[in-house]
Structure 1
Amino acid sequence: MTTIKATMPGVFYRRPSPDAEPYVSEGTEVSEGQTIALIEVMKTFNEVKSEVSGKVTKFLLDDGDEVSMGQDIAEVDGA
């Protein structure tokens, strides 16, 4: 199991806009480098990319949650 961590502080979002589907959901297979979420910092949206390939087993944050640098965002199995 690998944990994807925030690379910067800000506000966490799982979807590109409020009415869009999430980038990925729990149970989704992801590839290394695939965008899984966004972190907003001062009105700039930064992509959070998976560091590994595998299945997302759990998101540890909800849309709109504040996130700190280095905080765990999601767990990926099979990496």
Structure 2
Amino acid sequence: VGVFYRAPEPGAAPFVDTGDLVSPGQQVGIVEAMKLMIPVEADRGGRVVDVLCPDSTAVEFGAPLFALAET
């Protein structure tokens, strides 16, 4: 469906990384689809325990991008 980016621009720090706490609705990445940059938001809160999708990787709709642990 698109390409997943972990940071707002090349060379910038990622939106979130392993160990970070995220809140529901917090932006955690971007998916570029058909030249549109679509924000990716956390659907729930928790601590990022793993990044499942590397930066600049093609992704499908519904693909898991991060593993979260409840806090």
TM-score (norm. length: structure 2): 0.94
1:1-79 aligned within 5 A: 9-78=1-70
Q: Structure 2: where are the runs of 5+ without partners?
A: none
CA displacement 1:5-54 (0-9 Å, x = unmatched): xxxx2000000000210001011001010000000001111011001111
Name the amino acid aligned to 1:33. Answer: G
Q: Structure 1: which 4+ aligned runs deviate by more than 6 Å?
A: none
Name the amino acid aligned to 1:75. Answer: A
Aligned to 2:67, the other structure's residue is in SS state strand
Q: Structure 1: where are the runs of 5+ without partners?
A: 1-8
Identity of aligned residues (%): 35
TM-score (norm. length: structure 1): 0.85
Across the aligned residues of Structure 1 and Structure 2, the Cα RMSD in angstroms comes to 1.0
Name the amino acid aligned to 1:11. Answer: V
